[in-house]
Structure 1
């Protein structure tokens, strides 16, 4: 009903012509053309695709601009989602969403060298080829240009002051606009904050936060696993400095294949887990296992964090060329932009050698060079364009600003939000425990969503949320035999250990499947191998578009999956919204008591009931939960 009222809203003075462009008629679209190069030295124009939803209260007194992440992500497919998230702000404000230049329907950039399969891609040649393909226009897709585009759209709409909402890279664009046009900013909401002069080309924001995030895990319990997970990672990285460690990974057909572990992959896993931070409870035990010679658990985590390679996204959905054009022009690199790629690499290495060791702990300099943006942009030729300096000392904006930061977020950590808040006199900052990247995307129905509503209705904001999404204690290293597994109360001996091994197998497989799904763009089916043997399939049926808050339907199928050596689990289970599994399984294997069991979720594990080695049993098996 509220959205229907938007159809009747009066139109303020506007130079842009909006027309209904969706079936419901609530969303209006316009095209606003801006110069490619506002200095006029390089000719060309960029058509900006702009969408608007009128104020829900029927009378608009302003607008809120919602900015997508990336850089490279199209915003217009997210308009309905933005409207759902920002509904508390839309009673008297229009919602404005536009595809930033070079994305979506605003002239999405594409390069033949990038828009194919990643397999076998020579990244240096692909980056250089993309720059050559784009030519001189590659210099004009920076954050500064996007901020100036916002100003053009604001003027076209005839709105004097605007609110800004951004997540991840969208926060950097919002801050750039506020820095350049502070008089036109009403207020800002910044979720998962990229600093105004970020990201760091060596990923030092993430590296700085790693020890805190790892040690925070032990506040939930590391007993019997480790005294200091950060120190364990440092020990593993020291071994990996001599070269990759060799082990195996089980493929989606259930076959073991050789695999190697590299230090940059360990950091890549930790950063990927920003979107599923509870998976990090497995990480300290996997590191301890690797230090003891069992690489399989850590290799499996690293592989799952890469996701499955889907068909490449079309540039209209996510433009890799735009990502390069923005990052490689925006970022301040530790080398001379006019130098050749080989010289850039040498200069970057020299700069890193001058930095203190603790800037990279528990990783090292080589990890930072390999996982950061230095290698990615080394082959991007200098455009010669000088961007306006980003001030690192002055206040950016006096406007009221709510910053939201997940305490488990490494790519845009709490420390980055704190530094940014110090430059916003009107800022209130909210930190959220047990949440990683994109706070409102994960916890909109909880404390962060309530704070967002208060921010737009004049209430007090900031502080620290209660832990409303707690996850369990750190898990021990994966067992190397059934004798290392404890029995649940009431079912002693091998029968009981078989029950516990079954529950551990379910947890491990589900967590691996979900991590792979989170790391995969728009997954519908995830297939993978068990830790020691077997294979699994995770099928995901999503709700129809527009049913916000409705969970996907997920089914997990196991085919002789082995987590504990000698114990294999097969069956089909349904995933409940609370991440509990319901279904039936069959247990076989040389070490196991043969069993047929029904599975029901409990708070921190499963109730397993059925026949085990000819006897009827029922037991609560606690695994810590997911």
Structure 2
């Protein structure tokens, strides 16, 4: 959603690039290495013109620890330097590298491969982009995916590797598709994580859209959220209209964009719909609390000379809502018209994102693309090799969109990871381990049989309401307690669950918090495995103090003192399994020393 800071991790050719003659590539000295060997190859700037300027491409060759069964060509995406990411690639592949060689080729223009550099470049400053393009001149048009995969193939041949299995992450999946369609005879299989898909013309798609559908997806899974009026996307549309009519200094519309953009993180996914509904009903506290977290989150810098290589790749490989051969002025008019007529950010506008014009949302407006160079040749045949694809619900492209885009690969299987995000095999928690297990099984098998991969990151249910007082809380069913006591337990439990949700293993922004104000008063402090409630109020008329401990398996145990509006205090202990996709988990504990239990639903 934050298209200006989108830097991580993402000739109408009729045939593949010319094949490299066998005699053109001498065997590289790294071919006989028994340990990591870093090397370079000299390649033409333009593979379609062998007499063009020569540039240097760097690579790393890591031979298998035992007898090699094959070779994995890996790219971590970006498009950013690949060689610095070798440790995380090794960690992801794990024991696969006992019997598989690893080859990582630095894409041209990045890192150690003839880098493109523009001192003073700032992707948020269009004039510096224009100046960079002018400085680099026409040679920059050859730092694109079609040329990168030719470089990769040259390194493969120089090492004497007959065929490779491609492991692509994020932008690396674009290289994988380009390689598959240009050098199919040397590809045995591919594993694609968080796929960059291409348009019919073969260029990479960079969609600009609000993705309110993510809110609907989360809400539809929750009985409590479904009970709210209307659908989640409609509620947010009404919320934006309300704030345009009645601005809130503590809730600028730009902060709403950030909340929607982060809905893949559990706290935002869990609370966004209920918080928006609460705001429209006159209770601003839950939504303002979310907005404070995103407003205070650090932003990745997008300036520096080295970003020139990123620009060359992304702009040269991409499909945008403007003509590739148009002038910068005409591109600006086209993209302004696109946002005005198509409204892909609805209910938001480019102005809501703090820019003066739609062109500021896409820095490639100011980067010339004079060459027809689709990464995937539009009419190229897709090889009938095994292709395993993993995609998360919250990725840039949904699993359904990825499946439609890759249906031209005869033996591709797309695995949906519910509630999954980007770079799934690199992630933490159970879903990261699950995806890595499937990746390793697939890459370790010489026949590349597709494993039965069922990974799921759904470990919460969206909230349905933010009660203001204990009277608004539904008393839990529990044996051994009176109704008023059950209501008190429910309010204390809601307070504990609210605090504990901020330590969900998939929560990134909230994981950085050391302390946070209670929703309606007090404070919540976060330690390694303990959450301390200090006069914390989730509802106005009940205060909780004490500690909540979280085990590595997610079991939560709380020892709390609850003080009501009448000043009476009760000692309450709670035990439950946190981070599960249940409407209400099973709960047990004590109320002033008396045990109780409540079944889950």
Question: How far off is 1:366 after superposition?
Answer: 5.3
C-alpha deviations, 1:196-243, integer Å up to 9, x for none? 346544435x74xx5377246424424533453233334334445x46
Indicate which of 189, 208, 221 corresponds to 1:203.
208
Q: Which residue of 2 aligns with 1:231?
A: 234
Task: Give the 5 Å matches for 1:67-466.
Answer: 67-72=75-80, 74-87=81-94, 89-90=96-97, 92-104=99-111, 106=113, 113=120, 123-124=125-126, 127=129, 139-197=141-199, 200-204=205-209, 207=211, 210-211=212-213, 214-215=216-217, 217-221=219-223, 222-226=225-229, 228-239=231-242, 242=244, 245-246=247-248, 258-262=250-254, 266=256, 268-274=258-264, 276=265, 279-305=268-294, 308-309=297-298, 320-336=307-323, 344-355=331-342, 360=344, 363=347, 374-378=359-363, 381-389=366-374, 390-392=376-378, 394-406=380-392, 408-442=393-427, 443-446=431-434, 449-450=437-438, 453-454=441-442, 456-457=444-445, 458=447, 460-461=449-450, 466=454
| Structure 1 contact 55–90 (Cα < 8 Å) conserved | yes
Matched, 1:15 2:28: yes
Change (3 A) 1:514 1:212: closer
Following superposition, the deviation at residue 159 of structure 1 comes to 1.0
Secondary structure, aligned partner of 2:64: coil
Q: Which residue of 2 aligns with 1:54?
A: 63
Q: How far apart, CA to CA, are the structure 2 residues paired with 1:15 and 1:370? A: 52
Asked if the contact 1:42–1:136 (Cα under 8 Å) also holds between the matched residues in 2, the reply is no
What secondary structure, in the 3-state scheme, does the structure 2 residue paired with 1:96 have?
Answer: strand
Assess if the C-alpha contact under 8 Å between 1:201 and 1:331 holds in 2.
yes
Local SS of the residue matching 1:518: coil
Q: What is the match of residue 477 of structure 1?
A: 465
- C-alpha displacement of 1:63: 1.1
Shift of 1:128: 5.0
Q: Kindly tell me: are residues 144 and 447 of structure 1, through their superposed partners in 2, closer, same or farther at Cα, counting changes over 3 Å?
A: closer
What SS does the corresponding residue of 2:262 show, helix, strand or coil? helix
* 2:474 aligns with one of 474, 481, 486: 486
**1:575 is aligned to 2:550:** yes
1:252 corresponds in structure 2 to none
Q: Distance in 2 between matches of 1:622 and 1:125?
A: 62
Structure 1 Cα separation of the partners of residues 143 and 498 of structure 2? 43
The reply to whether residue 501 of structure 1 matches residue 491 of structure 2 is yes
- Paired positions, count: 558
Deviation at 1:171, TM superposition (A): 0.8
Cα-to-partner distance string for 1:143-192 (whole Å, 9 max, x where unaligned): 33432332232123221211101122211121122222222212111112
Deviation at 1:474, TM superposition (A): 2.7
Q: Deviations over 1:452-499 (max 9, x none)?
A: 515653475378x55755434331121222321233334446654443
Choose which of 575, 578, 591 in structure 2 pairs with 1:600. 575
TM-score by length of 2: 0.76
Tell me the residue number matched to 2:7.
none
Q: Which runs of 5+ in 2 are unaligned?
A: 1-25, 579-583
How far residue 375 of structure 1 moved from its aligned partner, in angstroms, is: 2.8
Which runs of 5 or more residues in structure 1 are unaligned? 1-12, 116-120, 248-257, 540-552
| Change beyond 3 A, Cα 1:501–1:260 | farther
Deviation by residue 1:353-390 (Cα, 9 ceiling, x = unmatched): 554x7xx4974675999899953334753335314134
Evaluate the alpha carbon distance shift between residue 584 and residue 132 of structure 1 in structure 2; reply closer, same or farther with a 3 A threshold: farther
| Residues 595 and 610, structure 1, Cα contact 8 Å, conserved in 2 | no
- Rounded to whole Å, the distance in 1 between the matches of 2:560 and 2:35 is 48
SS at match of 1:190: strand
CA distance 1:134–1:312, shift in 2 (3 Å): same
Q: What SS does the aligned partner of 2:319 have? A: coil
Between the aligned partners of 1:285 and 1:150, the Cα distance in structure 2 is: 50
SS at structure 2 position matched to 1:446: helix
Quote the Cα distance in structure 1 between the aligned partners of 2:538 and 2:190: 48
C-alpha separation in 2, matches of 1:216 and 1:391: 37
Displacement of 1:70 in angstroms is: 2.2
How far the C-alpha of 1:281 sits from its partner, in A, is: 3.2
Label 1:454 to 1:169 Cα distance change in 2 as closer, same or farther (>3 A).
closer
TM-score, scaled to structure 1: 0.73
After superposition, where does 1:26-65 map in structure 2 within 5 Å?
Answer: 27-32=36-41, 34=43, 45-48=55-58, 50-56=59-65, 58-65=66-73
Cα distance in 2 between the residues matched to 1:503 and 1:130: 57
CA RMSD of aligned residues (A): 4.5
Distance 1:454 1:18, change over 3 A: closer
Over 3 Å counting, the alpha-carbon distance change for 1:77 and 1:494 in structure 2 is: farther
Q: CA 1:294–1:606 in 2, change beyond 3 Å: closer, same or farther?
A: same
Q: Distance in 2 between matches of 1:499 and 1:187?
A: 55
